[in-house]
Amino acid sequence: MTNMKNMKTIRHLLLFCCAILGLMGSCEIQEDFKYQPSNVDGKLDVDAWTYIQQHDSLSFLRQAIAYAEVQSLFQSSDARTFILPNNAAFRAYLKENRYSDVEEIPLPILRNILRYHVVKDRVIFTDPALAPSNRPIAYDTENGQIMYLSHNTSYIGLINESTNVEWQIRTSNIEPTNGVIHIVNSVVYYSAPTGDAEAPNPNLIRDTIYALHDSYVNGPPSASQNFGTATTLRVKNVTGNSEVDRRAYLMFDFNDFKKEGVVTDMQLKIQTVFTHGKGVFTYLYDIPGYNWTETAINFNNAQKPPAGNSPVASYMAVAGQPFVFDITDFYKSNAEQGRVTFMLDAQAGSDETTDLASKEHDTMDPPMLISILASGESTLTLDANTGINVSNGGVFVLDNEVLEVSGSAAADIVYTVDAISPNGWLIKGANILRAGDRFTQLDIDLKNILFIHDGENNAPSTLLLSARDRSGGLIEDIEVAINIQ
């Protein structure tokens, strides 16, 4: 018994000593990232680029840096803080964005990612400036945006604390000759809070209507079977014509809306029964003039959209969240149409299983169209539109000196991308914005929006936007010039 007590005491002492050493040297030193410090505080006798080359757990990052030809960022003698995504981080990023290899990432986007991970200052969590308040401090990065760095009460380092997305640092306070290294399990990005889009606005009215008919159809050998009384709407796309290929159909009547006002938002919302949430899109199509009943429709007689028709909207599934499609623009162009039929189809070949709640579901809300209406009495003004001046293959961070609309709170002014430039990408956070996507004036004010030139097409182009607020104010045809320097 005495020996057991002694062993327990020794074990507690060892755990205590390890904890003290962890606080002295780093936030959390993992076995995957062993290094040979010159003393207990984690100082190395090599620069950041040499350190990266010496560690197999950073091989994806090493490949990315070499492919993007930005080794000089990690060799500079200027003191920098290097946020290094490990192999797990790159594997997750590649999977989420459907790249098979680092070299499939467009070079300008990859360079922007890497530059954001280099902070233009030396930040180590033993610095008294970061304690005891643990408050996030904003630092400039090499891509022109900011990164917030802080630590919690356990001295675990945090990236972009109190923004829309924050990350814990996996291994920290490694000191190469040219700064500080912190290692993370994610490819990080900047996404500052831009207000509560769902906050109640006393000037807005909500009107909701429900599906008249809904059903799904199933490929052979169930092609002639009807599923109009099923409690779910099943959607799956494998080959386009097999026993597990399914499409869903919904009919609404716009005439069922009764409230008066200017429509500022229109959403189709369908509750989720099950989805893998594998990061693939479900597309919403309009089928003009299609009259059908949910008790007669099947795979053989169901109509498809006319050839060449683009989706009305799309949605990337998130497990546990309802499917929400923005159909504002479609409604404004088709408000007088009366009855409309929507078809849901999954991304081709995605093999994603999605079950949504039909109007027959016992416990979940039925499919609904939600209209947000306003008085339309507010007035917006375009105060700044200086254009985007970007270097070949470079990055341009938008701010309110470049583009600004006033007349409402910045979080309530919503830009819609009407047409995108063919020579680059508009980025919000980690997402590439496409026609129909939206961002706010507050996104611009907080430098959440980037334009990245593709490095190939140097001809001037334009970005076409419209802006509106939550009270019905509208500015159309905002042309933002894009000049390549």
**How confident is residue 194, by pLDDT bands cut at 50, 70 and 90?**
low
Percent of the chain at pLDDT > 70 equals: 85
Out of 154, 184, 214, a domain closes at 184
Average predicted confidence (pLDDT) for the chain: 85
Q: How do 167-174 and 157-159 pair as beta strands? A: antiparallel
pLDDT of residue 3: 44
103 and 231 co-located in one domain: no
Is 5 within a domain?
no
Q: What is the pTM of this model?
A: 0.59
Apex 42 CA angle, 41 and 45, nearest 5: 125
Is 367 within a domain?
yes
Q: How do 167-174 and 179-184 pair as beta strands? A: antiparallel
Find the distance separating the first CA and the last CA of the chain, reported in whole Å. Answer: 78
Distances (CA, A) of 367 to 342, 445, 472: 12, 36, 26
CB 408, CB 378: distance < 8 Å? yes
446 and 385 co-located in one domain: yes
Give the chain as a 3 state SS string.
Answer: CHHHHHHHHHHHHHHHHHHHHHHHHCCCCCHHHCCCCCCCCCECCCCHHHHHHCCHHHHHHHHHHHHHCCHHHHHCCCCEEEEEECHHHHHHHHHHCCCCCHHHCCHHHHHHHHHHCEECCCCCCCCHHHCCCCCCEEEEECCCCEEEEEECCCCCEEECCCCCCCEEEEEEEEECCCEEEEEECCCCCCCCCCCCCCCCCCCEEEEEEECCEEEEEECCCCCCCCCCCCCEEEEECCCCCCCCCEEEEEEEEHHHCCCCCEEEEEEEEECEEEECCCCCEEEEEECCCCCCCCCCCCCCCCCCCCCCCCCCEEEECCCCCCEEEECHHHHHHHHHHCEEEEEEEECCCCCCCEEEECCCCCCCCCCEEEEEEECCCCCCEEEEECCEEECCCCEEECCCCCEEEECCCHHHCEEEEEECCCCEEEEECCEEECCCCEEEHHHHHCCCEEEEECCCCCCCEEEEEEEECCCCCEEEEEEEEEEEC
393 and 370 co-located in one domain: no
The count of domains in the chain is 3
Q: In terms of Cα–Cα distance, which of 227, 237, 252 is closest to 282? A: 237
Q: What's the pLDDT tens digit per position in 298-329?
A: 999 999 999 889 999 999 887 778 999 999 98
**How confident is residue 132, by pLDDT bands cut at 50, 70 and 90?**
low
93 and 230 co-located in one domain: no
Q: In terms of Cα–Cα distance, which of 254, 467, 466, 473 is closest to 375? A: 473
CB 354, CB 235: distance < 8 Å? yes
339 and 297 co-located in one domain: yes
The CATH number of the domain holding residue 399 is: 2.60.40
Out of 340, 359, 374, a domain closes at 374
Is 247 within a domain?
yes
Residue 291, pLDDT > 90, answer: yes
Is 6 within a domain?
no
Residue 354 CA to residue 42 CA, distance in Å, equals 49
User: What count of Cα atoms within 13 Å lies in the side-chain half-sphere of residue 259?
Assistant: 15
Percent of the chain at pLDDT > 90 equals: 61
Q: What's the pLDDT tens digit per position in 25-47?
A: 433 333 333 333 333 456 899 99
CA 155 to chain CA centroid, nearest Å: 28
Positive or negative: CA dihedral 118, 120, 126, 131: negative
Token representation of residue 204:
């807005």
125 and 241 co-located in one domain: no
61 and 97 co-located in one domain: yes
Residue 254 CA to residue 209 CA, distance in Å, equals 8
369 and 222 co-located in one domain: yes
Domain that includes residue 26, residue range = 22-184
Is 139 within a domain?
yes
Is 11 within a domain?
no
Is 104 within a domain?
yes
Is 426 within a domain?
yes
160 and 144 co-located in one domain: yes
The CATH number of the domain holding residue 50 is: 2.30.180.10
171 and 272 co-located in one domain: no
The CATH number of the domain holding residue 291 is: 2.60.120
306 and 442 co-located in one domain: no
Out of 153, 184, 215, a domain closes at 184
Q: What's the pLDDT tens digit per position in 225-250?
A: 999 999 999 999 986 556 778 999 99
81 and 164 co-located in one domain: yes
